Structure 1
Amino acid sequence: MAVPHDDELAATQTEGYKIGQSKTVAELAALDQEDESLQRWKASLGLTGRTGGGQKRIVPKTIFLTSPTRSQDIIIDLTQSPDALAKLKKEPVTIKEGVEYSVGITFVVENEIVSGLRFLQVVKRAGVTVDKTEAMLGSVCASSGFASEESPTGMLARSGSYAVRTRIIDDDGNKWLDDFEWSFKLGKEW
């Protein structure tokens, strides 16, 4: 039986896990004011108590593929126009067969801490799911995340393209990148 479209990118739930009480950046910065080393550590994380005001927000910037077998990363700029992003579904990125590569995402966190941020990705070929990745990015002020993969090999793997759907979601169920679709194909070379 096929998995419904919406459930494929649903984040897994850990039994017994309870979301903690949400605190603002200002509240966290105000804790333990007398501990100088803790205050320096908080400042290194961006917990200075100064916020831009407003609601917490994640702004996705790029999805990138990096590999030790490639001199430069392949970068998909998520800040492009909707028309340019739509082309990525029809114009696949080429990945060399049989190599190890990592898929990563860069983003900016605005105003407040986002807890339980996750990167989810489903890869399909001819409508059949061939891979699902879920990477916990954690509770962040600003960051990027990675998920390591290995590309398949062989003539059958190289024929056709793979459809990819990517999502970033947090513990509160906010979808910060919702079902971004792109594609890739496998080749003998990058």
Structure 2
Amino acid sequence: MSAHPDEDEFAPTTTPGYKIGAAKSVEEYANLDAEDESLARWKASLGILPGAAAAPASGPQVTVISLELASDTLPGGKTLMMNVQDPAAIAALKKNPFTIKEGVEYNVRVTFKVNHGICSGVRYMQVVKRSGIKVDKMEQMLGSYGVHPKGEAYVKNFEPEESPSGMLARSGTYNVRSRVLDDDGHVYADWEWSFKLAKEWE
């Protein structure tokens, strides 16, 4: 990915006075407050079980698999999906933008996999520009995760939104930079794509 001078646009929202705790290993989390039943249930939901050995750490901690746009108005119940793991497909989307129907409700979903350890405060961010001017910024918290107990990917659905409408909205192409990162500032994915608005889906 190319370097960008506008890194400040991706500064995550922070709560004044909140300090991120020191990172802990899976074993440390497993033994932390072992007598607390509600905490034990939360840890189990992250795949942290007492006495469980951590999988050897190799490769990226989090792999972002895909970003999808879903809408009941899309023909045939399809979704618009980008494979984040395919650089050629992402490059093609920047040159040949998605077409999104104006004035419809849609929601975004991210599919990702935790490969090892515990990641806290994972979030999705995107900055949308048209003609080089920022027109929108989205920040969605995905949450904290450990390796899925069944080794599967996680799917996070965002709250529904409505696409802009009107002649002004339909003029030009919107350029998007997307990023998935965590509370510690680790960036797991960073990619660019484009979309345009039209009267109908294409």
Residues 82 and 89, structure 2, Cα contact 8 Å, conserved in 1: no
CA 1:172–1:38 in 2, change beyond 3 Å: closer, same or farther?
closer
Per-residue deviation, 1:149 = 2.7
TM-score with structure 1 setting the length: 0.85
Number of equivalent positions: 185
Q: Does 2:129 align with 1:153?
A: no
Query: Please, which of 53, 62, 76 is the counterpart of residue 82 of structure 2?
Result: 76
Distance 1:28 1:100, change over 3 A: same
Q: Aligned AA for 1:152?
A: P
TM-score, scaled to structure 2:
0.81
Alignment RMSD (CA, Å)? 2.3
| Paired residues of 2:122 and 2:180 also in contact (CA < 8 A) | yes
Of residues 35-44 and 66-75 in structure 1, the stretch that sits farther from structure 2 once superposed is 35-44
Residue 123 of structure 2 corresponds to 118
What is aligned with 2:71? Answer: 67
Most deviating of 140-149 and 166-175: 140-149
CA distance in 2, matches of 1:50, 1:100: 44
Indicate how the Cα distance of structure 1 residues 135 and 38 shifts in structure 2: closer, same or farther if over 3 A, else same. Answer: closer
Equivalent residue letter for 1:74:
L
Whole-Å Cα distance in 2 between the matches of residues 166 and 33 of structure 1? Answer: 38
Counterparts of 1:33-182 in structure 2, within 5 Å, are 42-48=43-49, 49-54=52-57, 57-70=61-74, 71-80=77-86, 82-141=87-146, 143-145=154-156, 146=158, 148-178=160-190, 180-182=191-193
Report percent identity of matched pairs.
54
Q: Which runs of 5+ in 1 are unaligned?
A: none
Map Cα deviations across residues 54-73 of structure 1 (whole Å, 9 max, x no partner): 16611010001112323222
